[in-house]
Amino acid sequence: MSSPLHPDHAQVAAYLRGEPAAATWMEEQLLCIPRLVAWLRRRCPSVRTDQLPDIAQEAGLTALTRLASYHGLAPFEAWLHRICELSLYTFTRRQGRQRQTDLSFEPEAATTPPLDAMADDEHRARIRAAIESIGGAEAEILRQRHLEGRDLRDIAASRGIPLATVRTWYYRGLKKLQRRLGEGPDGEGGPA
């Protein structure tokens, strides 16, 4: 025997059909999202108060785009509560990844001059040849970074690709370059 549907299910179905009275009901229901997000924030101390409106907006958008997945087994507010939980969780995960990215090593153009300005001709030629032997996007990123002195953000913007992709290509290319040059990860020269 299946559970009876909550009365909110009929209201959501009416809203999805475009009934004006249901639109008013839905608007009233969605007003609880900022309150739910603020209440759930106590579980996530890393979330600042000024970030709550963004999380609430994301939760509201998610709720509206996923209304068809509300099956009426619980009150609509309980369903919204779960959406708010997931939005907060997604936000904190994204925030954690951003913090990791911000803490990761990324050479900056201001602190690392182009290779041409710091290496002798023989060493420069050896590095250029090693970069060319890598080929592809990794070589192009290495060339722009070390031979032209551009930072990774600038390279990403000029190519119209995500910074994370440029970083991946850069570090992958850097490892290949180190192997080709016989250098260890700390930059110390190994057997040539």
**40: domain CATH number?**
1.10.1740.10
30 and 98 together in one domain: yes
- Mark which of 103, 127, 154 sits at the end of a domain: 103
Residue 17 resides in a domain: yes
Residue 62 resides in a domain: yes
53 and 82 together in one domain: yes
Mean pLDDT of 178-182: 82
Burial degree of 30 (CB within 10 A; 0-12, 13-18, 19+): middle
Assigned token pair, 174: 């850097």
Give the range of the structural domain holding residue 51, as residue numbers without chain letter. Answer: 7-103
Which range (104-108, 154-158, 188-192) has the least confidence? 188-192
First CA to last CA distance, the chain: 76
Decide: helix, strand or coil at residue 189.
strand
Task: Read off the pLDDT of residues 27-49 as tens digits, 9 standing for 90 and up.
Answer: 999 999 999 999 998 888 888 88
Residue 102 pLDDT > 50: no
Task: Read off the pLDDT of residues 56-85 as tens digits, 9 standing for 90 and up.
Answer: 999 999 999 999 999 999 999 999 999 999
Mean pLDDT of 4-21: 92
Residue 188 resides in a domain: no
> Based on the structure, what is the number of domains in the chain?
2
92 and 131 together in one domain: no
* pTM of structure: 0.49
Residue 2's pLDDT is: 65
- Mark which of 76, 103, 130 sits at the end of a domain: 103
Residue percentage of the chain with pLDDT more than 90: 35
Residue 177's pLDDT is: 84
Query: What whole-number distance in Å separates Cα of residue 96 and Cα of residue 136?
Result: 31
Burial degree of 187 (CB within 10 A; 0-12, 13-18, 19+): exposed
The angle subtended at Cα 159 by Cα 155 and Cα 165, nearest 5°, is: 70
Mean pLDDT of the chain: 81
The angle subtended at Cα 180 by Cα 175 and Cα 182, nearest 5°, is: 90
Residue 116 pLDDT > 60: no
93-97, long-range: CB within 8 Å, 24+ apart, which pairs?
A: 95/46, 95/47
Residue 110 resides in a domain: no
CATH number at residue 172: 1.10.10.10
Residue 22's pLDDT is: 93
63 and 136 together in one domain: no
98 and 120 together in one domain: no
120 and 92 together in one domain: no
Place of tokens 């290319």: 173
